[in-house]
Amino acid sequence: SRTGAMVRLQCAAEGHPAPQIAWQKDGGTDFPAARERRMHIMPDDDFLFIMDVKTEDTGVYSCTAQNVAGSVLANATLTV
């Protein structure tokens, strides 16, 4: 992605009961975009938005969907 662009990541998961979605960056919960209030998570449609992306946003973003039936992990690599 280009510096300054908007990035949208989706973690689509369905199940009964509806799974809880948790996001990580590089295996942790430190998001430079969140510290700078450039990151927004939409709980209703499982999207993560990063506005005005910067080089420090580069990394592997993972989402975990979990309910009583189990959990599923998906990764997406963002290169800025």
For 23-76, how does the pLDDT look when each residue is reduced to its tens digit (9 = 90+)?
999 999 999 999 999 999 987 778 999 999 999 999 999 999 999 999 999 999
Residue 28 lies in a domain: yes
Q: Which of 46, 44, 43, 78 is nearest to 59 (CA)?
A: 78
Which domain does 67 fall in, by range?
Answer: 7-78
pLDDT at 12: 83
Sheet holding 20-25, edge to edge: 20-25, 59-67, 70-78
Domain-located, residue 58: yes
Q: Is 17 left (phi over 0), alpha (psi -120 to 50) or beta?
A: beta
Indicate the pTM of the whole model: 0.89
Q: How many domains is the chain built from?
A: 1
* Residue 32, domain CATH: 2.60.40.10
Report pLDDT for 25: 98
Question: What pLDDT is attached to residue 1?
Answer: 86
Asked if the model's pLDDT at residue 5 lies above 90, the reply is: yes
Q: In what order do the strands lie in the sheet with 39-42?
A: 7-10, 47-50, 39-42
| Pair of tokens at residue 62 | 């993972």
